[in-house]
Amino acid sequence: MKYKTIVLFLVSLLLCSCTVLPRVEAQPVVEVASMEESLDDQSVDDSFVEEEQSLLYDPNAPSTYVVVAGEKVAWNEEWNVAIEPDSKLDIFDMKFSDFGDFFEEEYSVEVSSYTIAQGTAAETTVWHIHSENEGPTIYISGGIHGDERAAWYAGVLMKDCTISCGDLYVLSQANIIGANKVSRRVEGKEDPNRFFPGNPNGTLTQVLDYAIFSDIQDKNPDLVLDLHEAIVVSKSREFLGSTYIFTTLDGIDMLMFDLLAATEDGDICHNAFSATGPGPAGSLNSTVSNVLEIPVITVETFRGFDIYRRVYDQLDTIQFILEYYGMR
């Protein structure tokens, strides 16, 4: 059904409308005691160990095939995950034009950078792209899960984007340790997207989460884009991917409607995306939305697809959103 995705989104919008809170100014950084309380209910996701990760890239692993968005995808039946095609790219030597006609018009901007989680093994760089013209602020985080390559590949490319107004902050590789190891994690078994707002005195994962959360709080953006990928396939759901995740629709309800309609009509991305929410407890999406009351859209592409297709869809989504905010 052509507009099934949009109808489902409208239903979710009605369900969420009674609980959405108005946007307020950013609050002081959450105290450590509050952070520790928020972590009490967090569970460690140990569904994958490093040995299992290697099979995601092994074309000889025992598998069958499933059809996802009209494309044949190799699937590991034992773990219900797609077998990811070779996704290694020399992304630091690549440009937008390697993936499509993105951000072709250039504007005058000032570009600077700074680091977060300084002095730790997780220290990573945030790029600040500033226009002399006043406008919105958008914060992009790519690759808190280091093995989700298209997410942080797109983020790396975005540091070369120019904007016509406002400010753009780009954090990618958010989890530089995981990106270098092609691992979901920073260290140990903690999922780095389940421990926000983090803890400056906790594990390395929690220190990184605290640094990211604090930086977003300091910049107080109008919107956060959290770039991810999904690899799960199950009998009960066709696939987890090609999805936009939200916790609050405050201030972004029409953006989400237009975004879904654009994918449904084939104006952006390779296939229609769906919308779901809220984000999991302890995730960047859930925590920034609920604690800072800043809307977050998590972009999930599907790791069973070709890497160029996935990066394309990430960039296409970002470009649409920047144009929506008048920054392009």
Tokens at 283, concatenated: 């995730």
Q: Is 83 exposed, middle or buried (0-12, 13-18, 19+ CB in 10 A)?
A: buried
Local confidence pLDDT in tens for the 328 residues of the chain: 444 545 455 545 544 443 332 332 322 333 222 222 332 333 333 443 344 444 455 556 556 887 888 888 888 877 777 889 999 999 999 999 999 999 999 999 999 999 999 999 999 999 999 999 999 999 999 999 999 999 999 999 999 999 999 999 999 999 999 999 999 999 999 999 999 999 999 999 999 999 999 999 999 999 999 999 998 766 554 456 899 999 999 999 999 999 999 999 999 999 999 999 999 999 999 999 999 999 999 999 999 999 999 999 999 999 999 999 999 9
Cβ atoms of 301 and 84 within 8 Å: the answer is no
Of the CATH numbers 3.60.90.10, 3.50.50.60, 3.40.630.10, 3.20.20.410, which one belongs to the domain with range 4-86+110-324?
3.40.630.10
Task: Give this prediction's pTM.
Answer: 0.84
3-state SS assignment for residue 303: coil
Domain residues of the chain, as ranges?
A: 4-86+110-324
Per-residue pLDDT reduced to its tens digit, 58-105: 556 556 887 888 888 888 877 777 889 999 999 999 999 999 999 999
The strands making up 71-76's β-sheet, listed across from edge to edge, are 64-68, 71-76, 81-82
pLDDT digits (tens, 9 = 90+) for 180-191: 999 999 999 999
What SS3 class is residue 138? Answer: strand
Say how far apart CA 119 and CA 122 lie, in whole Å.
8
Give me the chain's average pLDDT, please.
Answer: 84
- State the DSSP code for 232: B
